[in-house]
Amino acid sequence: MPRIKKILFVFITGLLIFVWNSSMLYAQQPGFNIDSFNNSVQKLSNDTSKITFIVERALSLACEDSSVKLVLAKEAQKFALKQNWAPGIYQTNRLLGDIYIDCQNDYKKGFNQFNESVIEADKNEDIHNEALALEYIAKKFGKLGQHDNEIVYFFKALLLRPGNELEEAILADLGHAYGSIADYPNAITYYDSSLKLIELEANKKKSSDLQDTTLRIGLKLNMGDIYLAMPDDAKALKTFEDVLEMSQTINKIRFIELSLTGIGRSYKQQKKYAKALEYFQRALLVCRERVRFDDEVVIQDEMANSYLDSGDFYKAREYADSALSLAEGQHFMKLLSKANATFGNAYLKLNRPDLAVFYLQKALDFSLQNQNLADQKEAWLGLSNAYQVSGKNDKALDAFKHFISTRDSTSNIDKTKEAIRKDLEIKNIRELTKAEDNYHKKLEQGKLFLYGEFGGLVMLLALAFFMYRNYNTQKKYNALLSKEKKANLAHIAAQSHVLSDIVHIQAHEIRGPVSAILGFVQIFNFEDATDPNNKEIMYWIGESANKLDFVVRNVVSKENELRAEHPDEPVN
């Protein structure tokens, strides 16, 4: 028995030494040196600096080092909680959520961390960070393909009204999310709403800076793609032309290339192949200037398909070959299925079914590897046609069955998207109705406030007008008195009496109703238009206005009497 204990003791000791050495060796890797890191942290003067430093270091580590990332994130969170530093708490919660979801696939823990940020921000009445946390949750759902939850959380963020800058981003995110479920009208609506907010902010600044223009270009490029998908070729073309004009104004080569490609795709969809190829060629020249090989593959593939559709099969093969060679040389795995399929279809049109089968099979292999159903469907259909031309009817039928199966899979996806759209329509109607009610309530309050101010202003202007009129009238009558004093003394005395009445009326009788109106405006409840007292206040404002109207009519009546007695004499 003692011998067994001794062996067990030696084994445990050895195991502990091994674990300790392994952890030390791992910590001393070139990518992360624990001693150096601790020394750097200790040199920092306060906890907020330490939090920022630790978070930045954790962010620099890849998911391969997720255990170290997690330790650092928890350490940073500990400092943030200790200091009760809200920005640090938000930041570390997001970091932990990212690690759990992106690195460890632990979605429950990840979303719990993001929700902690929502709760913390709500507790601090920090609308901006609460909306930011909700937007972050939405984006994570989007990456998981859960677009219904993505859209719901975007709406939750938007309903907080976190300010125009963040609302611009959320509206654009909603546009992208709706595009993902093929709800193109809503996608356009939210992209357009984001665009209008950006333009509103630019108008406030009385100028549009580079960032504003860049954001508008990005939104319009997305809108152009949506119009192509709808399809609405005319709107797509107009949108891409607008982007080209804006891009040339700020000389952004990347956007110029994308807009030229978009214009080319719009013409291609309209079957105007000569115009499409003209713009694709211009885009290709810009692309080569920027040395963007991935974009070059896409553009050349578009050109190859344009030549295929227009009947120039040799040109199609030339550009398909160039696109495929570049994709293979640069190892663009996601582009290889499309490039091989185009090349195979070119050979099929040239009546070379053997080569068509070879490249279409490669296209199928890559599309299966990339899990791209659209490319799989195209490859299976191409193979079916190629086998049929070769006289291999059994293989043609088998390929066609696979095509139907893949098409059904995409159809099921479309049905799922349709179900999501209907479900979201119900959810969003509730949320949007609530938001709309709040908006209209604020609008009505604003209108009442505006009308009250306007009414008061009108009364003040009326008072100023009558005082000015009285001044002019008295001035003219004084001149008349001075000129004809001896001859018309009795008449002048009568006129002075009338004028004195007018002055008295304007100085005393007008003043009372106007003061009353201004007072009632002050006690009107603009925050709650439904306040029962408001009705009574509006009644007394009306009464005061009637009194004012009576006084004004009295003044006019006296003036008319004066005119009737002496029609040849000026009184104005």
φ, ψ for residue 116 (rounded to 5)? -60, -40
Largest CA distance in the chain: 147
The predicted-structure confidence for 551-569, as pLDDT tens digits, reads as follows 777 777 766 766 666 555 5
Residue at 501 is within a domain:
yes
Q: State residue 442's pLDDT score.
A: 46
Residue at 146 is within a domain:
no
Q: Is 252 left (phi over 0), alpha (psi -120 to 50) or beta?
A: beta
Residue at 158 is within a domain:
no
Distance CA 572, CA 556 (A): 12
Residue at 468 is within a domain:
yes
As for how many domains the chain has, the answer is 1
Walk along the chain (572 residues) and give the pLDDT tens digit of each residue.
Answer: 445 555 555 455 544 444 444 444 444 444 545 545 555 655 565 667 777 888 888 888 888 888 888 888 888 888 888 888 888 888 888 888 888 888 888 888 888 888 888 988 888 888 998 998 899 899 989 988 888 889 989 988 988 888 888 888 999 999 999 998 888 999 999 999 998 888 888 777 766 678 888 889 999 999 999 999 998 999 999 999 999 999 999 888 999 999 999 999 999 999 999 999 999 999 999 988 878 888 999 999 999 999 999 999 999 999 999 999 999 998 988 898 999 999 999 998 999 999 989 998 998 898 888 888 888 888 888 888 988 888 888 888 888 888 888 777 766 666 666 666 666 665 554 555 455 455 445 445 544 544 555 555 556 666 666 566 666 666 665 666 566 655 555 565 556 666 666 666 665 667 677 777 776 677 777 777 777 777 777 777 787 788 777 777 777 776 676 666 655 555 44
pTM assigned to the model: 0.65
Give me the residue label for tokens 């003067």: 45
173 within 8 A of 147, measured Cβ to Cβ: no
Distance CA 357, CA 386 (A): 6
Q: State residue 95's pLDDT score.
A: 86
Q: State residue 450's pLDDT score.
A: 45
Q: State residue 81's pLDDT score.
A: 85
Residue at 124 is within a domain:
no
Helix/strand/coil for 551: helix
176 within 8 A of 150, measured Cβ to Cβ: no
Helix/strand/coil for 60: helix
Q: State residue 75's pLDDT score.
A: 83
510 within 8 A of 466, measured Cβ to Cβ: yes
Residue at 185 is within a domain:
no
CB atoms within 10 A of CB 471: 11
362 within 8 A of 333, measured Cβ to Cβ: no
Residue 369 carries which side chain, given as an amino acid letter?
Q
The predicted-structure confidence for 182-235, as pLDDT tens digits, reads as follows 889 999 999 999 988 888 887 777 666 788 888 899 999 999 999 999 989 999
Q: What angle do CA 373, 176, 102 make, to 5 degrees?
A: 70
Q: State residue 77's pLDDT score.
A: 84
Distance CA 64, CA 80 (A): 26
- Report the C-alpha dihedral over residues 371, 372, 374, 378, rounded to 10 degrees: -80
Residue at 407 is within a domain:
no
Q: What percent of the chain has pLDDT over 70?
A: 70
Domain holding 451, by residue range, is 433-565
Q: State residue 374's pLDDT score.
A: 86
Distance CA 250, CA 144 (A): 36
Question: DSSP strand E in 373-526: where?
Answer: none
Q: State residue 232's pLDDT score.
A: 92
Distance CA 307, CA 284 (A): 15
Q: State residue 317's pLDDT score.
A: 93
Q: What angle do CA 10, 11, 12 make, to 5 degrees?
A: 95
Residue at 551 is within a domain:
yes
